[in-house]
Structure 1
């Protein structure tokens, strides 16, 4: 991962990590790393909001630094957790502290590795990561892509980083926009569906608290069933659908309303918007 990594050493072991921007996503990854056993003394955090930075440091025992340049100079790997619009100025700020031995991992949605590299020196090693909000509860799904000079060890390090808060897959960078629309925006699609089912249950006379419990557990259980069995979703759906039964009647309405096409259009719109932002 860095100039100090030795052959056979697991990714991130003994690495000093600087999280520049300790907001919701960066904070979730830091918490996951500490819970997974990474020495909190080897993690430092910065934030534009001192209270956020200090609260995270106090809760997890990590270092809090006020200076991005000091944090970057201290670290073996820098993790960008700021909003995309703030990333360029931050990279310009730390450019002098990021040498050939420092890995830069970006959690900034939509920003290409080329854009990130343009703000750094010619030897900068950049890995782009697209995380999602379930990372906050250790159930995230992230896509990891290498920049022009990133190594296999750099990718392994980024995967290890995100595996502390869920799962991570290595993908070619051109697939990042599609992944962002599925796993990045995907929680919003799921929450939208959950909200619709809860409202439908309330309309049928169920108390809201009970409706929410029923829907959330049903969605969770359905996902776990697919994961445990490896069954294709269409086969799992057929197992619930008796000919002429109640489920079939409901599915007929969804097909009449072209729900599948609407979902495909929503994903397509999200991909096109991600390309524009990038």
Structure 2
């Protein structure tokens, strides 16, 4: 555990603990080390962003956390248990760069579908719960719209509502706003901060956008490539609540410059 995150967790069990993790993939040209010697602890109910150049293993790290792949060396625990056991209780929520909504289902139906498949909400309650979630992401009035009738930002809101449908304790987000225009992206940043403050969940957020990471996060994990490893863990002490205007302030700009300097050392 890094000193910064150990202090933040206050001695309590972290939400996510990654200890001595390395990940090696086979390739036609031989073994490829995607991650090497990762030690990281993510405290509960914090917003943590993972940044770094392409190829540094950000998405691989996210896949290890949720158990989609297993480390070659080391151990990942989530709330004291293996990722597989944690996911068995449906305690992860996932949001990826593409919304991956079913085009033949309405926004309401897309949000309700995981509740139906996983049987985590009584049938009589599913539609009401889906409507509540769409209202939470400010899409009331669009329940009957199909994905093709929604903008990119609106589709991602549906995706976030769907990820929250079975009330996960940890939300994992892999470049969820990467395909959006800058104006919509900033709007979604503000919405995500609002949701996180209201829902009080642990969020692990992968992004290439340093300003986005700084604006959203309590903690920014900077990774270096070839092989992927943790270069720095940076506490973001900007006051909350945060508004878009903070990006223009001197404190924000100075912190962004320091973050860019850490990345440039690669």
TM-score of the aligned structures, taking structure 2 as reference length: 0.35
TM-score of the aligned structures, taking structure 1 as reference length: 0.34
The structure with the largest helix share of the pair is 1
Higher relative contact order (CA 8 A, sep 6+): 2
The structure with the largest strand share of the pair is 2
Larger radius of gyration, structure 1 or 2?
Answer: 1
